[in-house]
Amino acid sequence: MIPEFGHLILIVHLVLSLLGGTLPLLAVYANYRSLEISIKKLSVTLFLLITISFLSLIYSFLVDDFSVAYVAQNSNINLPVYYKLAATWGAHEGSLVLWILAMNAWLIGFIFFTHSKDKDFLATVFSISCQVIFAFSLFTLFTSNPFERILPIPPLNGDDLNPSLQDFAFTVHPPLLYFGYSGLLIPFAIAVAAILFKKDTREWASYSRPWTLLSCSFLTLGIALGSWWAYYELGWGGWWFWDPVENAAFVPWLLSVALFHSLITSQNRGVFGKWSILLSIFAFATSLLGTFLVRSGILTSVHAFALDPERGIFLLAILAFFVIGSLFIYSITDFGHVEENKYELTSKEFGFLLNNLLLVVLAISILFGTIFPLIYEAFTGGKQISVGAPYFEIILFPFALALGLLQGVALYLSWGQSSSFSFLPRLLIESLSIFSLIILILFVLFDNLYLGSFATIFLASWILVGTLQMTKKRNLSYWNFLRKRLAVTFAHAGMAILIIGVGVVSSYSLEKEIILSPGDSTEFSDQTINFQSIDDLLGPNYTSKSAVVSFDDGSELSNIVTEKRTYLPSGQITTEAGIQADLFKDLYVSIGDNLQSNIWSFKIQIKPFIRWIWLGALLIAIGSFLAGVKQFKRR
């Protein structure tokens, strides 16, 4: 009964979201004031409905109701309860319900925290959001219904959740990512309403900014967690693979970063209005496009979502309707007199413009590279190529360099007038000092220097100095100065730390595949690796070969456990890497094949500074979160 109840509630939610998507617009545009409804009440109702529906899906998982097809495909009696919960959003259907839930949550936030006298404008934003929510609900109900039953004879047991998803990071990563994606709905709806109302740029930008920052914060966390998961779960120590599913998250992230920078300028100076509108539309569009690319099956990716061409067409139709629709309205609207605000080539405005240009072209390039194999195949009549990490790294580097150099000077620039560049020598000397300090530390730690890492380390030092501005002359005390711009300091310093991590890990990493039998030891870098023992273990829903490998660098001995698990229902085999995590270097071992009776192969790796990547991402997320929250306080 509970699944039918959830299904019914989802249908009620669909109908109400359609009402929400139409009535306020009729009231505003056709002037049928009698149709006016309380958008606050409706948004709360919608949120409650979708939450109840989602809870009933969770309930079906917790009670092992395998008559529900989605539960039968993604759960199992022996699955630990915690993962049964996570399985709710572990695959396509459930993740859509979560996505709709997230959109509703953002909408409530927007309705309750935006204080505007223009009720019609708010109603329009609400209505546009409801239309998107309606489209997603329709998509869910018609192509991906999570409540579908297997009747009359339900299976006795389920197929199990994909073993590589049975993991902590993977229970948290999707909700964060979906919250990030769906948050971009709000800036989109505001932008479309801003076109319809020909709103003053400063005004609508101030409504949009906090939501863009918050979505960006969630996206950052979601992406970072995904990267962390890939690092320890896929077993080869990579932290970013440029897989389509990663790019599908990275592109909206880049655009959301571009967007909130552009909105800062729009809000403060009244410029870049049309540009901010377009960016809002495209940030939302790419979040949908990424979903389309990953779930329609046109690209091969690490995440095998159940693929179905019908879903692809439906998603593409949603994308086409909203994005082409809004771009059409944009193209026929005469914005009339645009506020002109002159700015110099060395002003803060121009800095933001360059930042946007670089971010947007980078985003376009990554999107293009992701779908290029398809284009190539079409044009060459079936020849195939792969566009992967080596390509994207080559493309990313000059953009990252330019963005980083810009980021270092950005905080010194001032609005409107030509900025003085007298800070440059100071900035250069200080960042060279930090650079040498980092190089020295690296040399002390690893007895080695790699020229390849110098550029990234210099860039990181440059950004750090430009962000902290420790020695700049000012009237405030340093602490007060920092407190005034805590958010940007966090975010920009986070970027510097992330870049150090990337630079060091990509040049100082060591890896080797070795073959050992228990008791054997071998040398690797300054470590003595010893294969201590291997045992059979029995987990809740898997059997496992669990090997203990010790790393000894003369002063510290660490025993690391790596497992090869065979999950019982599916027979799928996963490798659990063993990691000794440390701020300066990770020791990483993953068990390979059983070559002869007791002889095993292992992949051992040393990953210096890899934690800095996620630490940096965390700081960026905190920074953009603080910046978003600060926007509420200001009003």
Residues 328-347 that bind other proteins (CB under 8 A): 328, 330-333, 340, 342, 345
Nearest to 276 by CA among 290, 255, 251: 255
Q: Cβ distance 333 to 273 under 8 Å? A: no
Q: Does 391 bind other proteins (CB under 8 A)?
A: yes
Q: Cβ distance 547 to 600 under 8 Å? A: yes
Nearer to other proteins, 97 or 610 (CB): 610
Rounded to whole angstroms, the Cα distance separating 573 from 567 reads: 6
* Least CB distance to other proteins at residue 85 (A): 27
* Least CB distance to other proteins at residue 631 (A): 23
Q: Does 320 bind other proteins (CB under 8 A)?
A: yes
Span near other proteins by CB under 8 A; candidates 28-36, 106-114, 296-304, 624-632? 296-304
* Least CB distance to other proteins at residue 422 (A): 20
Q: Does 324 bind other proteins (CB under 8 A)?
A: yes
Q: Does 243 bind other proteins (CB under 8 A)?
A: yes
Span near other proteins by CB under 8 A; candidates 211-219, 355-363, 409-417, 581-589? 355-363
Q: Does 11 bind other proteins (CB under 8 A)?
A: no
* Contact pick of 520, 568, 572, 582 for other proteins (by CB under 8 A): 520
The first and second tokens of residue 385, run together, are: 């190529």
Q: Does 382 bind other proteins (CB under 8 A)?
A: yes
* Least CB distance to other proteins at residue 342 (A): 6
* Contact pick of 26, 80, 118, 274 for other proteins (by CB under 8 A): 274
* Least CB distance to other proteins at residue 100 (A): 23
* Contact pick of 511, 526, 535, 553 for other proteins (by CB under 8 A): 511
Q: Print the SS3 string covering 435-488.
A: HHHHHHHHHHHHCCCCHHHHHHHHHHHHHHHHHHCCCCCCCCCHHHHHHHCHHH
Rounded to whole angstroms, the Cα distance separating 602 from 226 reads: 24
Three-state secondary-structure class, residue 597: coil
Q: Cβ distance 623 to 491 under 8 Å? A: yes
Q: Cβ distance 133 to 108 under 8 Å? A: no
Q: Does 33 bind other proteins (CB under 8 A)?
A: no
Q: Cβ distance 9 to 53 under 8 Å? A: yes
Q: Does 362 bind other proteins (CB under 8 A)?
A: yes
Pairing type for strands 557-567 and 527-538 reads unpaired
Rounded to whole angstroms, the Cα distance separating 635 from 620 reads: 24
* Least CB distance to other proteins at residue 447 (A): 7
Paired strand residues for 604 = 512, 589
Nearer to other proteins, 38 or 380 (CB): 380
* Contact pick of 23, 72, 107, 353 for other proteins (by CB under 8 A): 353
Rounded to whole angstroms, the Cα distance separating 106 from 103 reads: 5
- What DSSP string runs through 332-399? H----SPPP----TTSHHHHHHHHHHHHHHHHHHHHHHHHHHHHHHHHHTS------HHHHHHHHHHH
* Least CB distance to other proteins at residue 526 (A): 11
* Contact pick of 115, 152, 336, 379 for other proteins (by CB under 8 A): 379
* Contact pick of 61, 70, 241, 253 for other proteins (by CB under 8 A): 241
* Least CB distance to other proteins at residue 382 (A): 6
* Contact pick of 437, 476, 557, 581 for other proteins (by CB under 8 A): 437
For 57, the enclosing helix (H) or strand (E) is: helix 39-62
Instruction: Please provide residue 550's backbone torsions phi and psi, each rounded to the nearest 5 degrees.
Output: -105, 145
Pairing type for strands 521-524 and 510-516 reads unpaired
**Cβ-based neighbour number of residue 417 at 10 Å:** 13
* Contact pick of 78, 268, 414, 522 for other proteins (by CB under 8 A): 522
> Judged by CB under 8 A, how many residues of this single chain contact other proteins?
96
Rounded to whole angstroms, the Cα distance separating 171 from 179 reads: 14
* Least CB distance to other proteins at residue 399 (A): 8
Q: Cβ distance 492 to 623 under 8 Å? A: yes
* 38 dihedral zone (left: phi>0; alpha: psi -120 to 50; beta): beta
- Which residue is it, tokens 């039968």? 72
Span near other proteins by CB under 8 A; candidates 25-33, 45-53, 135-143, 305-313? 305-313
Nearer to other proteins, 54 or 305 (CB): 305
CA dihedral 45, 220, 224, 170 (to 10 degrees): 10
DSSP 476: S
* Least CB distance to other proteins at residue 111 (A): 29
Paired strand residues for 537 = 544
Site for other proteins in 584-603 (CB under 8 A): 592-593, 601
Site for other proteins in 154-213 (CB under 8 A): none
Nearer to other proteins, 358 or 579 (CB): 358
Question: Cis bond leading into 152, ω under 30°?
Answer: yes
The first and second tokens of residue 7, run together, are: 């299904």
Nearer to other proteins, 80 or 238 (CB): 238
Q: Does 272 bind other proteins (CB under 8 A)?
A: yes
* Contact pick of 138, 445, 449, 455 for other proteins (by CB under 8 A): 449
The first and second tokens of residue 233, run together, are: 């779960």
Nearer to other proteins, 340 or 536 (CB): 340
Q: Is the dihedral of CA 50, 55, 58, 63 positive or negative?
A: negative
Q: Does 313 bind other proteins (CB under 8 A)?
A: yes
Q: Does 415 bind other proteins (CB under 8 A)?
A: no
* Contact pick of 14, 28, 191, 278 for other proteins (by CB under 8 A): 278
Residues 6+ apart with CB under 8 A from 253: 180, 216, 219, 220, 223
Q: Does 239 bind other proteins (CB under 8 A)?
A: no
Q: Does 526 bind other proteins (CB under 8 A)?
A: no
Number of alpha helices (DSSP H) and beta strands (DSSP E) in the chain: 20, 9
Q: Does 424 bind other proteins (CB under 8 A)?
A: no
Q: Does 319 bind other proteins (CB under 8 A)?
A: yes
Span near other proteins by CB under 8 A; candidates 480-488, 515-523, 547-555, 578-586? 515-523
Span near other proteins by CB under 8 A; candidates 235-243, 406-414, 580-588, 606-614? 235-243
Site for other proteins in 75-134 (CB under 8 A): none
